[in-house]
Amino acid sequence: MQRAVGTVLVVVLIVLAGCSGVFGGDGGGESTPTVTPMTVPTDEPTPTPVPQLAPGLTGQGIENASALVAAHSSFLQNRSFTTRTNVTGLATNGSVVIQRTDTLRAGPRGEGVYSVSVTNGSYRYVSPETVPVRTAIWTNGERLLLNRTYANGTTTYERYRDSTEERYGAAGAGLRYRLEPFDTTTTSVTERDRNGTTLYLVRGKIRSNQTFGRESMSLRMLVDPQGVIHSYRIVQQPQNSENLSRVVSTTRFSSIGATDTPTRPSWINEATNRTTPVPNRLSPSPNATTTTATTTSEPTANRNTTTAGDVTTLNISS
């Protein structure tokens, strides 16, 4: 019995000693040294930061297309510039079936912007009577007027209150939409030198995706460190088209800061008098009206020529 009591006493002393060690007894013994845990190395290496070459662009490719287009638009917002675009639709045998040329001249901020698009070809997509062969746009930052001429000589006018937040033509029509499918997995970047100026050549390619309705596209683009896009070339392969195999679009921005203010077109007064403005060009009012006027001059295209000018219906807008 005494042996059992002794054993219990030893156990109690051990437990009490343990509690004192955990909760910090204030006995006169030496304090337990603090042990600093060692850093355990991991097998994963620390990722190397990818340097940004321009807004939205890194050495691995296009990281943020919206940021890149925003930087480009912001740079041109208060500067004069000239934009030239050529869009060519090719048949399966390589022949040209539709072609469009655009020229846009923007004077300094607050001055006029004038754009002219001319389309011709033999690709029958819609009735030529419903698609313009020539479209002219004039804006001074407060109002925007359109002058559309059709193959039969008919001219229509439209008027909008222009947006002062984003200058017309500064972002390039449809550029953000066309760059968004590209990312760092589908693009590459090579540094180039042009007359002492650093430019980045961006190449990209995406394959068609029937699930998302995406067509195959290839990209070639020149960008400077400020995010200004000097030129780009996009080749598309339209889906569900028997006669149109490829659409090639090339756009160049030039004379930045050195473009003269374009001359105000002679048709502006007539277009202003014969139209009612709508809030802005992006969200027309349902009560807005436009006026159609039949011209007496010869049409800009032969009446027997089948033309298609509204390239958005072909998804080849620049």
- One-character DSSP codes across the chain: -HHHHHHHHHHHHHHHHHHHHHHT---SSPPPPPPPPPPPP-SSPPPPPPPEEETTEETTEES-HHHHHHHHHHHHTTS-EEEEEEEEEE-TTS-EEEEEEEEEEE-STTS-EEEEEEEEE---SS-GGGSEEEEEEEE-SSEEEEEEEETTSEEEEEEEEPPSSS-TTSS-TTHHHHHTT--TTTEEEEEEEETTEEEEEEEEEE--BTTTTBPEEEEEEEE-TT--EEEEEEEEE-SS-SS--EEEEEEEEE-TT-PPPPPPPTTHHHHHHT---BS-SSS--TT---EEEE-SSPPSS-TTS-----GGGGT---
Q: For the segment 292-315, what is each residue's pLDDT rounded down to a tens digit?
A: 444 434 433 333 222 222 222 233
Which has the closest alpha carbon to 229: 237, 220, 238, 242? 220
Which pair of tokens denotes residue 306? 């089948």
Instruction: Categorize the per-residue pLDDT at 104 as very low, low, confident or very high, splitting at 50, 70 and 90.
Output: very high
pLDDT of residue 317: 36
Residue 121, pLDDT score: 76
Q: Is 15 a residue whose pLDDT tops 80?
A: no
Rounded average pLDDT over 27-38: 56
| 127 band by pLDDT with thresholds 50, 70 and 90 | low
pLDDT at 179 over 90: yes
| CA dist., res. 155 & res. 294, Å (int) | 6
Question: Per-residue pLDDT averaged across 246-261, rounded?
Answer: 94
Q: Hey, what amino acid is at 99?
A: Q
Owner of token pair 């620390």? 46
Looking at per-residue pLDDT, the higher value among 135 and 167 belongs to 135
Residue type, 22: V
The pLDDT tens digits for 189-242 are 999 998 888 999 999 999 876 545 567 899 999 999 999 999 999 999 887 777
Dist. CA 178–CA 170, nearest whole Å: 15
Average pLDDT over residues 275-289: 54
How many residues can be counted in the chain?
318
- Up-side HSE of residue 18: CA atoms within 13 Å toward CB? 6
User: With 80 as the cut, is the pLDDT of residue 12 above it?
Assistant: no
- Range in 37-41, 76-80, 170-174, 205-209 with the lowest mean pLDDT: 37-41
Contact 290, 277 (CB under 8 A): no
pLDDT of residue 80: 95
Neighbour count for residue 201 (Cβ, 10 Å): 13
Residue 24 falls in which region: left (phi positive, over 0), alpha (psi -120 to 50) or beta = left
The residue type found at 153 is: G
Q: Is the pLDDT of residue 2 over 60?
A: no
Work out the average pLDDT over 134-161: 91
Contacts of 276 (CB under 8 A, 6+ apart): 159, 288, 289, 290
Quick check: 222 and 232 in contact, CB under 8 A? yes
